[in-house]
Structure 1
Amino acid sequence: MPNTSRKPKWEFRAIRWSVQHPGMVAGPASLASALGVGVAQLGVPTTGGITAGAALGLAGWYRGHPDSFDTTMLPRLRAWHRRWLTYVGSRWRDILDDCGLTTENRRTGELVVPRILKVRSASPSIDTIHVRINRGQTPELFEERATALANALLAERVAVVKVCPQVVALVVERENPFTDEAIPPVELVHDIDGVDLSAIELGDTEHGQPWTQSFLGQHLFVAGATGSGKGSLLWSPLRGMAPLLRAGVVKPDVIDLKEGMETEVGADLFHRRAIEWDDAVETVELFRDEMKVRQAELRSQGKRKFTASAETPLRLLQIDELGMLTAYGPPAEVRGVLKLLAEIMTQGRAAGFSVAGYVQEPTKDTVPVRELFTARVCLSVTSQNQVDMVLGDGMRLRGALADEIPLDPAHAGIGFVVEQGSRNPLRVRASYQSDQDIRELVQFVTQGRAALRAVA
């Protein structure tokens, strides 16, 4: 059969495009059909009123409950906008062609462009583009051209993730929403009533809103390489709880097996502080024993959960470099500590006993109790698979590029979280706590305690 240079006519190309993009065709077609039926059955005024009401409802949702709108509707609208205005048509073709990611059909000479299957935009600054690659191409080819793709897309970086045979995901970080300047610590609140333990401010989100974390019935897991900013997430919760620390409504213990270097400046804040192995084991044991006593007291009073007060304070156990306690100590004693931690983390919720662990290596071998932590933060880590270890399967594919965060002071404290009720990663940055900020916190708490004792 002779070759021909004739291409299919526009109507056949349109049919093929419609088959390849059913959502783009079905959505407007369904909307047009609904409007047509509405006009025919209800009349123009009624149909117009319903349409206007729906638009006003969306506007009211946007204005009245921004959290649910931003979580549910905004990612869909943003993905649609990006798909059809940014990653579209000739622009997409030219970008891939310039980056050497197109192929030529040997029989027809036609340029074959890897096709976009879908776009997800859970974050304002990160898009995930699922692409069906051409026959003969490999995910490794796209990885080699990732830097060129980032430059062509005017993005900070592009990561390539294999989804399934012949499909890759391009995770496009369009911009870094945080500047090189550190986020200052929150202002110290003097009034106990101004502190909500279910929403302690830790820093900012990429939306420019306060990043908050509950410490009621939650166990916090923070993973990050050296220099990623884990220390900020040890001190920020304490600063947010300052009036409650002063009044004895929160009593923190700390284990710092790095010779106490991280916590020395704020040592007076803690009910117990352990910097040696034997003291650390004893601290965990005493913490567990206090939990058992609290459980017995609540049971005798017929209560199912505690209320934070000076009589029944929230007890918080912070463990800096958790791996030193759960993996690198004497094997027999490590097993005992793991058993105690598992007991605390499975039973401490109702009694008001919480654990916050900070670790560099988040593998199961290092932290066997990792799955018992209910809230997780992934700062800059050293490998791709650590992101999913910390945040859950598929989180890197959804845009949590924690392994791409540079390890330098300008990016310290930047990481990702997955909020409860959501499957989308949220980029956050912890507020920076200098030694002077910590000393200010210690002075605020200790002088306040002395004043309260004097009054009593």
Structure 2
Amino acid sequence: MPKAFRNQGIEFRAMKWAVRHPGMVSVPTGLAAAAAEGVMTLGAPTAGALAGGVALGLAGWYRGHPASFDAVALPRLRAFRRRWLTYVGRRWADILTDCELITVNRRTDQVQVPRIVRVTAASPSIDTIMVRLNRGQTPTVFEERAEALAHALRAERVAVMRVRPQVIALVVERCNPFDSDPIPAIDIPHTSAEVDLSALELGDTEYGTPWTLPLVGNHLFGAGATGSGKSALLWDPLRAMAPMLRDGIVQVDMVDMKEGMETEIGAPLFHRRAIDFAESVEVIEGFRDEMKERQALLREQGARRFTPSVETPFRVLQIDEMGMMTGFGPSKEVRDVLRLLAEIMTQGRAPGFAVCGYVQEPTKDTVGVRDLFTQRVCLSVTTQGHVDMVLGEGMRLRGALADEIPLGDDYAGTGFVVRARSRTPQRVRAFYQSDDDIRDLVAFVTGDRPRLHAVA
């Protein structure tokens, strides 16, 4: 084929663009047709009033119910704006040209730019750009140029994900929504009436709103490398539940497989506490036995679900460094522990028994009961695969770049969760509690009352 010395006609390029982006043609055309029909049928004043009512309704939705608007409408509006203002046409082509990510057809000398298939923006700080590669390109080429892409896009970082043959996803982290300073611990609630076990406040979201987590009726799984801030996931729920701990409405058992170093400062908070493997098995088995007793009591009362009270407290089992109990201990004892935990986690919802487990390595070999946890938090982890292991398949592709979170005090407690009633990851940062904060918590909860049980 001879080389072309002229560009394709603009009318043919426009037709190709319209075929590739039918929504950008059909939606404005449909709106214009609907407006014209409305004016012809109802008259200009009535049609204008209807349009104004729709606009007013959207404004009312935006102002009156931010949660649903931010979950449903805002990601679509944000994605539309980013697609057609940030990653549009010539600007996109110039960026890929500067980053040496274009190809040139050797027969026609035509410059070929990898085409954007779709843009999503589930959060204010992260975009996901689906890109169709040119023939002859591989994802590795983009991986090697990821740092250059990040600078060209003025982003913190760019991650490259393989989606399917000839299609990749560029996950663009535009900014870190949190300051380098840690978020200070919240004030301790004064009374049990102020505590909502279905919405414990643990930190802030990337939207600047409170990050809440339902613990009652759920099991919490937190994963993160050393230095990621997992301790915040241990102490923050206790602070949020402090009045109920004080009043005996919540009782917490603690298994600390760091030989007690993490929890010694807060030891008086716990109903039972163990710091070695043998004692830990006893605590877990005792927790299971209490659950069985509670089930029998509720069955006698004809109740299908418990109500937190002093007589039937909400029971929580926290396991720090859970992998030492479920993956690295003696094989027979590990099997026993997994059986006990599986029993608790499959039956504990109705009688009011919850498990919180914290690990560094979230693989199935380490935590065989991983899939039984209903609430997940992924802090900074060491590999890409760990993200999907914790949050669910495809979460990294959707923007949960937990493996890209640097370790250190500036990012401690930062991670990702999956938003309720959606498959959208959301970045969060947990409150930081200093040793003095934990001492204040102990003083508030215990006062002068004796501990319920000695250390197991």
Instruction: Pick the TM interval, shorter chain.
Output: over 0.9
Distance, in Å, in 2 between the alignment partners of 1:39 and 1:312 is 65
| Aligned length in residues | 451
Q: Is this contact kept in 1: 2:254–2:318, CA < 8 A?
A: yes
Q: Is this contact kept in 2: 1:155–1:172, CA < 8 A?
A: yes
Q: Is this contact kept in 2: 1:246–1:448, CA < 8 A?
A: no
Report whether the alignment pairs 1:193 with 2:193. yes
Point out the more displaced range, 31-40 or 242-251. 31-40
Give the corresponding residue for 2:60: 60
Q: Is this contact kept in 1: 2:2–2:107, CA < 8 A?
A: no
**TM-score where L is the length of structure 2:** 0.97
Give the RMSD, CA atoms, in angstroms. Answer: 1.2
Partner SS for 1:417: strand
Q: Which runs of 5+ in 2 are unaligned?
A: 451-456
Give the corresponding residue for 1:358: 358
Once the two structures are superposed, the pairs formed by residues 311-390 of structure 1 within 5 Å of their partners are 311-390=311-390
Give the corresponding residue for 2:106: 106
Q: Which runs of 5+ in 1 are unaligned?
A: 451-456
| Residue 3 of structure 1: how far off its partner (Å) | 3.5
Distance, in Å, in 1 between the alignment partners of 2:158 and 2:164 is 18
Give the corresponding residue for 1:76: 76
Give the corresponding residue for 1:289: 289
Residues 9-67 of structure 1 show CA distances to partners (whole Å, capped at 9, x for unaligned) of 22111111111211211221121122222222222222222211111111111111101
Residues 316-335 of structure 1 show CA distances to partners (whole Å, capped at 9, x for unaligned) of 00000110111111111111
| Residue 90 of structure 1: how far off its partner (Å) | 1.1
Give the corresponding residue for 2:96: 96
Partner SS for 1:350: coil
Q: Is this contact kept in 2: 1:247–1:449, CA < 8 A?
A: no
Distance, in Å, in 2 between the alignment partners of 1:4 and 1:67 is 54
| Residue 448 of structure 1: how far off its partner (Å) | 6.6
Give the corresponding residue for 2:453: none
Task: Please tell me the residue identity of whatever aligns with 1:393.
Answer: E
Once the two structures are superposed, the pairs formed by residues 225-304 of structure 1 within 5 Å of their partners are 225-304=225-304
Task: Please tell me the residue identity of whatever aligns with 1:141.
Answer: V
| Residue 449 of structure 1: how far off its partner (Å) | 4.3
Identity of aligned residues (%): 67
Q: Is this contact kept in 1: 2:197–2:214, CA < 8 A?
A: yes
Report whether the alignment pairs 1:146 with 2:146. yes
Give the corresponding residue for 2:429: 429
Report whether the alignment pairs 1:309 with 2:309. yes
Q: Is this contact kept in 1: 2:3–2:109, CA < 8 A?
A: no
| Residue 105 of structure 1: how far off its partner (Å) | 1.7
Residues 168-215 of structure 1 show CA distances to partners (whole Å, capped at 9, x for unaligned) of 100000000011100000101112111111111101100111111111
Distance, in Å, in 2 between the alignment partners of 1:377 and 1:295 is 29
Distance, in Å, in 1 between the alignment partners of 2:320 and 2:440 is 21
Distance 1:227 1:2, change over 3 A: closer
**TM-score where L is the length of structure 1:** 0.97
Report whether the alignment pairs 1:49 with 2:49. yes
Distance, in Å, in 2 between the alignment partners of 1:158 and 1:314 is 43
Distance, in Å, in 2 between the alignment partners of 1:170 and 1:263 is 41
Residues 360-417 of structure 1 show CA distances to partners (whole Å, capped at 9, x for unaligned) of 0000111110000000000000000110000001100000000000011111100000
Q: Is this contact kept in 1: 2:79–2:119, CA < 8 A?
A: yes
Give the corresponding residue for 1:17: 17
| Residue 160 of structure 1: how far off its partner (Å) | 0.2
Residues 222-247 of structure 1 show CA distances to partners (whole Å, capped at 9, x for unaligned) of 00001100001100000011111000
Distance, in Å, in 1 between the alignment partners of 2:417 and 2:426 is 5
